[in-house]
C-alpha cells in the first residue's frame, strides 16, 4: 500500500491491516507510537519515555518493570502512606479531648450546589470534577490535533476525509474510557480506602464510582460503536469483528468487554438496583470478566495505567474475605412492631469503632453469597462484648431474616438452633471531628435514623463532656407511626435520664397518617412493645474481631506489590525466549501471551499475600465467645415527674413534613453564635431540602474569616448503597 507518510497512533490498526504495512513503515509506526496518551499527550514525554523503555529493556526489569514503577506503584504508595497516616491520626484523636472550632474548611464541606439531577455538591467536589473534565478535554484535544495533522486517506478503506476525521474523533474516546477506568475502583475500596485519607467514607464515595462508571461506559460505547461503523462502511466488518490475533489489539475481546460493561451498567440503574437487588448484585460480579477482556483488548502497556485500582481492589477484597472468617453466632434478637429487628452480635473487646460505622452481614442460612450493609447502633465505649444493628425488613433478604427470627421465636428454648453469621467490618470515620460542635442538628428519614442512634449512644457513654455537644436536636421523619419503634434503643434518652451529659430534643413528623391528640407518651406505650429471642450461641467458637490495623494492611499491600513485580519479571525472563522478548520490546505490539503472564503473576502475588494475611489473622484469633449477660428491657416509667417534664419538650406532628427553614431559623436564634453541626441521613429529596436550608443559613464568615454569628456545617450520611 502506497502512502507518503505512515499514520502514527495506537488506534491505526483499526483502519490499516498490519500485514499491509512494509517492515520499514511498521518500524516507523512503532517507534513513534505515543503510548498511554491520556497520561502524557505530549511529544516531549513520548521521546523521553521511548528512551527510558530502551534503557529498561537492557536491564532485568524490562519495560514491564518500568511501567509498573512509573504508572502503578505511585498510586499504591499513596494508599500505603495514607494507611500509615490514618493509624497515626487514630492515635492522635484518642488523645484529644477538646471540641474543634469552625474554620474556613467549612466553605469546602458545606453544599454549594443543590440540584435534583446533580444532587448535593460541595465546593471541593465541584473543583475536583472541573479539573478532571479539563484534563480529559485537554488530553482529547491534543490527540485529535495531532491526528488531524497526520490524517491521510487510504484507498483500500474507501473512506472520504470526513469519514476518516469522524473515525479519529470517535475512537479517541477509548483513551477517555481508559482514564475513567483508572479511577473507577478507587471509590469502592473499604479496608484500603484511599478516600478515607480525605475523610470520605466508603458509603459516601460510592456515588463517585457511579459517576465515573457512567462516563466510562459512555466513552467506551462511542469508541466501540464508531469502530464498528467504520468497519461497516469500509466493508471490513466481517473480517475484523471476529479477529482474535496473537499480536496486536484483540478486537473480539474489546467487543465482549463492551457488552459485559453495558450489562453491568444497565442492571445498576436505580430502577433495577432498588427493585431487583439480586440482579444488580450478581451481574456486578461480572467485573472480573470485564477486566480480563479489557486487558486482552488494550494490551499490557496500557493496562499498567489502570492497574493500581485493580490491584488495590483485588487485595482489598481478599483481605475482607479473610477478615470475615471465621463466622460468629448471633447472641440474641429483638422483634419490634412494623417488621423491624435488632440483632445483638458478639465482638472481641479489642474491636473499637467510631459512631456511624457500618458492618456487612452475610447469613448463610439465607444466602451464601449476599452481603448487606447496616449501621451499628451501639457504642464500643459502652459495650465491650456486643454490637447491635437495627434492620427494617423491606426486601427479600431482610424479610427472609425476619421470618427466620420469627420461626425461632415460636420454638421452645431447647429446640432453638444457633444462627451463624459472617461479619465484615466495621468501617467508619477515622475521627470524631464531625461531632465536635456546640450543638448538633440530626435530621433522619425512615431507616436513616440508624447512624444517629450510634452517635447518641456514644454521647451517652462519654465520660468527657467536652468531646460531645451539650445540645442535640433530632428531627425524625417517618411515613407511619409504627416506624417510631426504631427509636427504642434511645428510649431512656427521650425521658431525659442523662441530663448531666447533654440535652436531647425530638421533633417527630409522621407524614402519611393523621391522628389527633397523640403525643410521645402514647407512641411509647403502643410501639415500644418488644419480643426478645435468646438463641444458641454455640454454633461458633469466635466473636467478631473486625479488620486489622491500617499499618498491618499497609505492610500487606507493600508485600503484595513487591511480590507481583518479582513474579512478572521472572515469568517474562523464563517463559519468553530472549530473542522474542527483544523483538516484542522493540515493536511494542500487544501480545496475549504477555497478558497471560501478567494475570498469572498477579494471581500468584495475591495468593502469597492472602496466605500471609490468613496466617497472621488466625494467630490473632482467640477461641471462645465470652459469656454475655442479657440485659433485660426495663419497662418505661412514664408516670414520674421527670419523665412528664421530658416528654413535654418533644414534639409530634402528623400529616405534614418539616419546614427546615423555620427549624434552622429557630435554632440559629437560640444558639447565639455557637458552632452547629448538621447531619442528615435519609431520602435524597430530604437531603436536598436540608442542604438548601443549610446553604441559606451558613453565611457565618466574613472575608476576614472571623465568625460573626451561628455557623452551620453540613454533613450527609448514607444508610443504603
Pairing of strands 503-510, 471-478: parallel
What is the spatial distance between Cα 337 and Cα 356, in angstroms, rounded to a whole number? 24
DSSP label of 643: H
Question: pLDDT tens, 508-549?
Answer: 999 998 887 787 888 887 777 888 888 776 677 788 888 888
Looking at residue 641, its pLDDT comes to: 63
Report which secondary-structure segment, H or E, holds 368.
none
Low-confidence ranges of the chain (pLDDT < 70): 1-43, 45, 91-109, 152-159, 245-248, 463-467, 497-500, 537-538, 579-590, 623-644, 673, 698-709, 719-721
Confidence at residue 703, expressed as pLDDT on a 0 to 100 scale:
40
pLDDT score of 411: 84
The C-alpha cell at 701 is 464568615
- Per DSSP, the three-state class of 471 is strand
What is the residue-averaged pLDDT of the chain? 81
pLDDT value, residue 701: 41
- Segment 538-563, tens digit of pLDDT: 677 788 888 888 999 999 999 999 99
Count of other CB atoms within 10 angstroms of residue 415: 9
Q: Which of 188, 186, 551, 202 is nearest to 359 (CA)?
A: 202
Domain ranges across the chain: 327-543+635-716
Round to whole Å and give the CA distance between 452 and 492: 15
pLDDT for 42: 62
Contacts of residues 108-112 at CB distance under 8 Å and 24 or more positions apart, as own/partner, are 109/713, 109/714, 109/715, 110/694, 110/695, 110/698, 110/712, 110/713, 110/714, 111/691, 111/692, 111/694, 111/695, 111/714, 112/695
What span, in angstroms and rounded, lies between the C-alpha atoms of 115 and 197? 27
Cα–Cα separations (whole angstroms), residue 191 to 426, 446, 621: 9, 28, 19
Do the Cβ atoms of 66 and 56 come closer than 8 Å? yes
**Residues 596-635: pLDDT tens digits?**
999 999 999 999 999 999 998 888 777 666 666 555 555 5
CA gap 21, 24 in Å, rounded? 8
Note the CATH architecture for domain 327-543+635-716: 3-Layer(aba) Sandwich (3.40)
pLDDT of residue 137: 92
What pLDDT is recorded for position 698?
66
- Say if residues 676 and 435 touch (Cβ distance below 8 Å): no
Please tell me the pTM assigned to this model. 0.85
The C-alpha cell at 249 is 489489539
389-402: b or e for each residue (b if 16 or more CB lie within 10 Å)? bbbbbeeebbeebb
Cα→Cα distances 250→293, 490, 606, Å: 9, 60, 26
CA distance 273 to 271: 6
**Dist CA 56 CA 597 (whole Å):** 19
Amino acid at each position: 500500500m502506497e502512502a507518503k507518510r505512515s499514520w502514527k497512533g495506537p488506534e491505526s490498526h483499526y483502519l490499516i491491516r498490519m500485514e499491509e504495512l512494509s517492515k520499514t513503515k511498521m518500524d516507523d509506526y512503532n517507534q513513534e507510537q505515543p503510548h498511554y496518551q491520556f497520561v502524557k499527550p505530549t511529544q516531549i514525554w513520548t521521546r523521553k519515555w521511548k528512551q527510558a523503555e530502551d534503557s529498561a529493556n537492557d536491564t532485568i526489569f524490562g519495560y514491564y518493570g518500568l511501567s509498573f514503577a512509573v504508572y502503578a506503584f505511585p498510586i499504591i504508595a499513596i494508599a500505603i502512606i495514607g494507611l500509615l497516616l490514618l493509624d497515626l491520626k487514630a492515635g492522635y484523636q484518642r488523645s484529644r479531648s477538646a471540641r474543634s472550632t469552625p474554620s474556613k474548611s467549612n466553605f469546602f464541606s458545606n453544599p454549594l450546589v443543590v440540584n435534583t439531577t446533580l444532587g448535593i455538591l460541595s465546593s471541593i467536589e465541584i473543583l475536583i470534577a472541573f479539573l478532571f473534565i479539563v484534563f480529559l478535554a485537554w488530553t482529547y484535544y491534543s490527540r485529535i490535533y495531532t491526528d488531524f495533522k497526520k490524517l491521510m486517506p487510504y484507498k483500500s478503506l474507501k473512506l472520504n476525509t470526513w469519514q476518516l476525521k469522524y473515525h479519529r474523533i470517535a475512537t479517541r474516546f477509548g483513551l477517555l474510557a481508559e482514564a475513567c477506568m483508572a479511577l473507577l475502583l478507587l471509590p469502592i475500596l473499604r479496608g484500603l480506602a484511599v478516600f478515607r485519607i480525605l475523610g470520605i467514607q466508603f458509603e459516601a464515595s460510592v456515588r463517585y464510582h457511579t459517576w465515573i462508571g457512567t462516563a466510562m461506559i459512555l466513552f467506551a460505547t462511542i469508541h466501540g460503536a464508531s469502530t464498528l461503523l467504520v468497519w461497516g462502511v469500509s466493508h471490513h466488518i466481517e473480517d475484523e469483528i471476529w479477529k482474535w490475533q496473537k499480536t496486536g489489539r484483540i478486537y473480539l475481546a474489546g467487543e465482549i468487554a463492551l457488552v459485559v460493561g453495558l450489562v453491568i451498567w444497565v442492571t445498576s440503574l436505580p430502577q433495577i438496583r432498588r427493585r431487583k437487588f439480586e440482579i444488580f448484585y450478581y451481574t456486578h460480579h461480572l467485573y472480573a470478566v470485564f477486566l480480563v477482556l479489557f486487558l486482552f483488548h488494550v494490551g499490557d502497556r496500557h493496562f499498567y495505567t489502570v492497574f493500581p485500582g485493580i490491584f488495590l481492589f483485588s487485595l482489598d477484597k481478599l483481605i475482607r474475605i479473610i477478615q470475615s472468617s471465621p463466622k460468629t453466632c448471633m447472641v440474641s434478637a429483638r422483634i419490634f412492631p412494623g417488621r423491624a429487628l435488632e440483632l445483638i452480635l458478639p465482638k472481641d473487646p479489642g474491636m473499637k469503632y467510631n459512631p456511624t460505622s457500618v458492618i456487612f452481614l452475610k447469613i448463610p442460612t439465607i444466602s451464601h453469597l449476599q452481603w448487606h450493609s447496616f449501621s451499628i447502633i451501639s457504642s464500643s465505649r459502652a459495650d465491650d462484648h456486643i454490637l447491635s444493628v437495627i434492620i427494617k425488613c423491606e426486601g427479600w433478604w431482610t424479610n427472609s431474616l425476619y421470618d427466620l427470627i420469627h420461626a425461632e421465636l415460636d420454638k421452645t428454648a431447647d429446640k432453638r438452633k444457633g444462627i451463624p453469621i459472617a461479619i465484615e467490618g466495621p468501617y467508619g470515620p477515622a475521627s470524631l471531628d464531625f461531632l465536635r460542635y456546640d450543638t448538633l442538628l440530626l435530621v433522619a428519614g425512615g431507616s436513616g435514623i440508624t447512624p444517629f442512634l450510634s452517635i447518641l449512644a456514644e454521647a451517652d457513654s462519654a465520660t468527657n463532656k467536652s468531646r460531645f455537644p451539650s445540645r442535640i436536636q433530632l428531627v425524625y421523619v417517618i411515613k407511619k407511626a409504627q416506624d417510631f419503634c426504631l427509636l427504642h434503643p434511645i428510649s431512656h434518652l427521650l425521658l431525659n435520664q442523662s441530663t448531666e451529659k447533654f440535652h436531647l430534643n425530638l421533633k417527630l413528623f409522621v407524614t402519611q397518617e393523621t391522628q389527633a391528640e397523640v403525643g410521645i407518651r402514647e407512641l411509647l406505650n403502643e410501639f415500644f412493645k418488644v419480643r426478645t429471642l435468646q438463641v444458641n450461641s454455640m454454633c461458633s467458637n469466635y466473636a467478631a474481631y473486625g479488620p486489622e490495623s491500617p499499618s498491618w494492611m499497609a505492610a500487606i499491600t507493600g508485600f503484595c506489590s513487591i511480590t507481583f513485580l518479582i513474579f512478572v519479571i521472572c515469568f517474562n525472563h523464563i517463559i519468553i525466549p530472549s530473542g522474542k522478548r527483544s523483538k516484542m520490546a522493540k515493536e511494542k505490539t500487544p501480545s496475549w501471551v504477555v497478558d497471560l503472564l501478567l494475570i498469572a503473576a498477579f494471581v500468584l502475588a495475591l495468593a502469597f499475600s492472602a496466605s500471609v494475611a490468613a496466617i497472621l489473622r488466625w494467630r490473632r484469633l482467640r477461641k471462645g465467645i465470652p459469656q454475655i449477660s442479657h440485659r433485660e428491657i426495663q419497662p418505661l416509667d412514664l408516670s414520674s415527674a421527670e419523665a412528664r417534664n421530658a416528654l413535654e419538650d418533644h414534639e409530634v406532628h402528623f400529616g405534614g413534613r418539616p419546614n427546615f427553614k423555620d427549624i434552622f431559623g429557630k435554632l440559629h436564634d437560640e444558639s447565639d453564635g455557637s458552632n452547629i453541626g448538621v447531619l442528615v441521613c435519609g431520602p435524597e429529596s430530604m437531603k436536598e431540602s436540608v442542604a438548601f436550608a443549610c446553604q441559606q443559613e451558613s453565611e457565618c464568615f466574613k472575608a476576614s474569616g472571623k465568625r460573626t454569628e451561628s455557623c452551620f456545617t453540613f454533613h450527609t450520611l448514607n444508610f443504603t448503597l
